Amino acid sequence: MIRPALDASAISEAVRHGETTVAEVADAFLERIEALEPDVHAFASFKPLQVRLQASLNEGRGLLAGVPVGIKDILDSADHPTQFFSPIYADHQPSRDAHVVTLLRQAGALIMGKTHTTEFAYMRTGPTRNPHDLERTPGSSSAGSAAGMAADFFAVALGTQTAGSLLKPAAYCGLFAFKPSFGLVSLEGVKPLAPSFDTVGWYGRSVRDLGLVARVLIPGFELPEAPRRPLHLGFCRTPRWDQVQPEVAEALEHAVEQLRHAGHQVSELKLPDEFAGVFDDHLIINDCEGARSLAKEFEQHRSLLSPSILAMFDRAAATTWDQETAAKARLAALAPRLNERCQPFDAILAPNCAMLAPLAVDSAENTGPSDFIKFWGAFGWPQVNIPLPRAEGLLPIGLQMIGRFRTDGALLRVAERVAAELLTDRGH
């Protein structure tokens, strides 16, 4: 019997080697879902018979042979409705899969269902709860994918990120996550929000799974050799470090100390004041592009949009064309300077979320700031979340790792070593 807690690499290997069948894998995960879904509410659409049908047709071949996957309901799917958590699209059934969903199927994955998103991947939250504490939010917007991972409903899940939508839920739910460099993964069939930032990313049970999925979703992607020498890491508190709650700050600093004790060099990376405006520039662009992306829904169905979306339209209307142009120009000018400052490091360490997962009841329109995530996402750089080892019963805390633009493979290799060091120290 397959354990739902196995990672995708282990599951697909067991399937390919005939140590288990895809039907057995499907049954194990379906059982888990049927037991916990009534509390977690990860799924926007779930059809167990459809999963069993896929399993019976699955040939047990491919990089993701028999691997159960959850799909954020911001991506189109031919066998489930795609509703974007908006009444405007209630029961809307697309004619074809998003490009990445097809690539998953071609690699042998089992599509377990569509997972809850916030409304159009923006702020209004759905019913999903955090499996670590059902009173708390899993974060947004890739809420169902993250909560479903934490509840062992699937071994891999797709999300998307515009500001903090992939990494924040990874921090709150204690997951490995990877948001690739901007532009590497096809957005065909993915509802746009702010096209300057929109990126498909994914959750996995291990760093090696993050790389496995990268090989499926980024044709031509290859993992380089891991460096064997001690790593040189930059620890960047980012200009808003003062927002980080003491418990989170302490855990991050402890992780940095662990890495130093393991023989790696971790240097403080201080960014000059000119980087303090990145947060606001990201907001300006997100607002203006978001208003353009949802223009047709605003025109025809205004009364069905949430207050947070309408507030975004208000801010966009109050922003001039030249202000948006200037925000884009500032980011473009800062990118090479950030690259230069980060060049000496194998990767950057930074906070992911400033806080622990807040209570769901307080999170209907806001699950907490994404500042430390969007700071790097503004430049399209690849980002990873490493869940810090935590004592039983404590809420998860995430360590963010960042690579320079298009150094995705190297970042995953460095993340693999960092994750191993942090776990080792835990005494496992």
Asked whether 386 and 421 are in contact (CB, 8 A), the reply is: no
Identity of the residue numbered 33: I
Q: Which one of 28-36, 235-243, 322-330, 368-376 is the stretch in contact with a copy of itself (CB under 8 A)? A: 322-330
CB of 224 to a copy of itself, least distance (A): 9
How far, in Å, CA of 286 to CA of 224, rounded?
34
CB of 44 to a copy of itself, least distance (A): 17
335 vs 394, beta carbon nearer a copy of itself: 335
Q: Is 41 in the site for a copy of itself (CB under 8 A)?
A: no
Q: Is 332 in the site for a copy of itself (CB under 8 A)?
A: yes
**Residues identified as active-site:** 72, 141, 165
192 vs 369, beta carbon nearer a copy of itself: 192
How far, in Å, CA of 419 to CA of 187, rounded?
29
CB of 281 to a copy of itself, least distance (A): 15
CB of 314 to a copy of itself, least distance (A): 13
Residue 95: asked if its preceding bond is cis (omega within 30°), the reply is no
Q: Is 421 in the site for a copy of itself (CB under 8 A)?
A: no
84 vs 375, beta carbon nearer a copy of itself: 84
Asked whether 141 and 366 are in contact (CB, 8 A), the reply is: no
Which residue in 218, 309, 349, 414 binds a copy of itself (CB under 8 A)?
218
Determine the size of the site formed for a copy of itself (CB under 8 A).
44
Q: Is 295 in the site for a copy of itself (CB under 8 A)?
A: yes
254 vs 406, beta carbon nearer a copy of itself: 406
Q: Is 341 in the site for a copy of itself (CB under 8 A)?
A: no
- b/e sequence 133-162, b meaning 16+ C-beta within 10 Å: beebbbbbbbbbbbbbbbbbbbbbbbbbbb
Q: Which one of 28-36, 156-164, 271-279, 402-410 is the stretch in contact with a copy of itself (CB under 8 A)? A: 402-410
269 phi/psi in degrees, rounded to 5: -110, 110
115 vs 293, beta carbon nearer a copy of itself: 293
Q: Name the H helices within 75-206.
A: 99-106, 143-150, 167-173
Whose tokens are 């935590």? That residue is 390
84 vs 153, beta carbon nearer a copy of itself: 84
Q: Which one of 165-173, 230-238, 267-275, 405-413 is the stretch in contact with a copy of itself (CB under 8 A)? A: 405-413
Asked whether 78 and 149 are in contact (CB, 8 A), the reply is: no
The candidate with the shortest Cα–Cα distance to 358, out of 349, 367, 350, is 367
The candidate with the shortest Cα–Cα distance to 128, out of 137, 357, 120, is 137
Q: Which parts of 55-74 interact with a copy of itself (CB under 8 A)? A: none
Report helix angle 22-40 to 48-57, nearest 10. 160
How far, in Å, CA of 120 to CA of 111, rounded?
21
Which residues here bind a copy of itself, judged by CB under 8 A?
A: 92-96, 99, 102-103, 106, 183-184, 186-188, 191-192, 195-196, 218-220, 222, 288-289, 291-293, 295-296, 299-300, 316-317, 321, 324-325, 328, 332-333, 335-336, 405-406, 409
